[in-house]
């Protein structure tokens, strides 16, 4: 039976980059007999314009019953001052929560052809291939209580709660260890167990999961501040980096920044086995370049590559697509963000030519 992919084009450059993915899918269909049921739905500002909400209940239901969801990006100046529940970004948080995608996979790969575009020296980043597994549904972004109180003297007190349960740590740790087995078999678990109770529990639970199920995988515990220094100093020492929502947010951006352009970086958010994954480029809707043909579509194309690998059970096609992207870059295909002159659709052409 063919699998179903739900496309959420979104706003700004979202539709421009997802169009290139649709072209890639057409080529895989025609040249490789790939069978895929592709659907689409409104999302973000486009959905607010059409039906008043950033994501409808019907779209959420369709996302939950698809095999994978691939989104472009949402947001833009038009909705920046809207009430919180009418903002495109709320649709995304709602979708992640409803799909219970608790493991955010963010690869940071430095393609050899682009090693000179990094802020680090070529020898430090050439060949870099590390993978963040960031917990996405818990921690300080969701913990209660949170708020801003007014104190008797009129000053204020703002607070958030960093909280993790055993189950929340276990389920994301399983994802990281299983992924490591398909890579270089190494996991670095990052927390602040020296000063935080939730960090201490994180270390204890990861240690136990490792002992019970994954003793064949090499595990090291690294304090998150030291990890930041190591990523900036010698990132290639890592393979899979497992961490919580907050540290993962910050450290994966650091790792992404050293690989070159934001237009290259894909991500996957996964839940329980057998449940659909949510795939998206890490960039936003880039209103400054929307409609100008300047968007690099590779982050979206590589997000689809992750969907082929993790949800659509076509690792063979994922390998093919990945190889095509590298070949296009090796032959000098560059959009403006990479110092080149190709427009969005010409970058799509370059990948398709290699396919
Ligand atoms: P952004 O990622 O949209 O843009 C940051 C910079 O990177 C801009 O200069 C942009 O031109 C450039 N850029 C981004 N993607 C690119 C690509 N594919 N090719 C070439 N250049 C690219 O971040 P922002 O400007 O902070 O946010 C714009 C809007 O996007 C906001 O409304 C924000 O809330 C939203 N946003 C959405 C998501 C999402 O949908 N997942 C993520 C981040 C930001």
Q: Is 159 a catalytic residue?
A: no
What are the helix (H) ranges across the chain?
A: 14-32, 45-51, 57-65, 88-99, 122-125, 166-181, 197-213, 224-233, 245-257, 298-310, 315-330, 344-354
pLDDT band of 231, cuts 50, 70, 90? very high
Residues 6+ apart with CB under 8 A from 112: 126, 127, 330
Give the tokens for residue 283: 């960039």
The answer, yes or no, to whether residue 84 has pLDDT greater than 80, is no
**Best of 281, 284, 292 for a ligand 1 pocket test (most atoms within 8 Å of beta carbon):** 284
Whole-structure pTM value: 0.91
Least confident of 124-128, 186-190, 322-326: 124-128
Q: Once rounded to an integer, what is the mean pLDDT over residues 167-180?
A: 97
> For the chain, what percent of residues have pLDDT higher than 90?
85
Strands 156-159 and 147-150: antiparallel
pLDDT at 257 over 90: no
Alpha carbons 118 and 101: distance in angstroms, whole number? 30
For residues 279-303, average pLDDT: 96
102 to 82, 170, 214, 332: CA distances (angstroms): 28, 11, 20, 37
For 4-48, the pLDDT digits (tens) are: 999 999 999 999 999 999 999 999 999 999 999 999 999 999 999
Pairwise CA distance, residues 294 & 181, whole Å: 38
Q: Is 26 a catalytic residue?
A: no
Query: What pLDDT sits at residue 332?
Result: 94
pLDDT at 306: 97
Q: What is the mean pLDDT of residues 117-125?
A: 89
74 lines ligand 1 (CB under 6 A): yes
Residue 259: the pLDDT is: 86
Would you report the helix, strand and coil content of the chain in percent, each value rounded to 5? 50, 20, 30
Question: What is the position in ligand 1's atom list of the atom closest to the CA of 74?
Answer: 40
According to DSSP, the residues that pair with 241 across neighbouring strands are 132, 188
Ligand 1: which residue has its CA nearest to atom 23? 284
- Cβ neighbourhood burial of 253 (10 Å; 0-12, 13-18, 19+): middle
Catalytic annotation present for 288: no
The total of other beta-carbon atoms located within 10 Å of residue 279's CB is: 29
* Confidence category of residue 118, pLDDT binned at 50, 70, 90: confident
Higher pLDDT: 111 or 135? It is 135
User: Is-catalytic flag, 253?
Assistant: yes
Please give the Cα distance from 190 to 251 (Å, whole number).
Answer: 10
Q: So what's the pLDDT on residue 236?
A: 96
- Residue 83 has what pLDDT? 84
pLDDT of amino acid 217: 98
Q: Tell me the pLDDT tens digit for each residue of 301-336.
A: 999 999 999 999 999 999 999 999 999 999 999 999
């Amino acid at each position: 039976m063919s699998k179903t992919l739900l496309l959420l084009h979104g706003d700004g450059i979202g539709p421009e980059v997802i169009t290139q993915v649709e072209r890639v899918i057409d080529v895989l269909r025609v040249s490789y007999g790939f069978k895929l049921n592709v659907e689409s739905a409104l999302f973000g500002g486009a959905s607010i314009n059409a039906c008043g909400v950033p994501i409808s209940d019907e779209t959420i239901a369709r996302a939950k019953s698809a095999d994978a969801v691939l989104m472009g990006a949402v947001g833009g100046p038009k909705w920046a001052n809207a009430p919180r529940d009418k903002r495109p970004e709320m649709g995304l948080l709602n979708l992640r929560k409803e799909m219970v995608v608790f493991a955010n996979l963010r690869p940071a790969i430095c393609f050899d052809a682009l090693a000179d575009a990094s802020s680090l020296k070529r020898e430090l980043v050439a060949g870099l291939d590390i993978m963040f597994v960031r917990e996405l549904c818990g921690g300080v972004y969701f913990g209660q209580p949170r708020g801003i109180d007014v104190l008797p003297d009129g000053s204020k007190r703002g607070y958030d709660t960093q909280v993790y349960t055993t189950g929340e740590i276990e389920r994301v740790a399983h994802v990281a260890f299983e992924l490591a087995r398909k890579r270089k078999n190494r996991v670095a678990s990052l927390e602040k167990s020296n000063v935080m109770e939730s960090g201490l529990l994180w270390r204890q639970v990861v240690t136990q999961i490792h002992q019970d199920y994954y003793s064949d995988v090499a595990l090291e515990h690294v304090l998150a501040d030291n990890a930041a220094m190591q990523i900036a100093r010698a990132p290639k020492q890592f393979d899979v980096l497992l961490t919580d929502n907050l540290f993962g947010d910050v450290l994966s951006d650091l790792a992404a920044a050293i690989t070159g352009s934001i237009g290259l970086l894909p991500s996957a958010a996964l839940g329980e086995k057998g449940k659909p994954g949510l795939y998206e480029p890490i960039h936003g809707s880039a209103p400054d370049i929307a409609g100008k043909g300047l968007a690099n579509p590779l982050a979206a194309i590589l997000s689809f590559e992750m969907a082929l690998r993790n949800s659509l059970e076509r690792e063979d096609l994922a390998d093919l697509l990945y190889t095509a992207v590298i070949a296009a870059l090796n032959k000098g295909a560059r959009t403006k963000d990479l110092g080149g002159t190709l427009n969005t659709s010409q970058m799509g052409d370059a990948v398709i030519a290699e396919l």
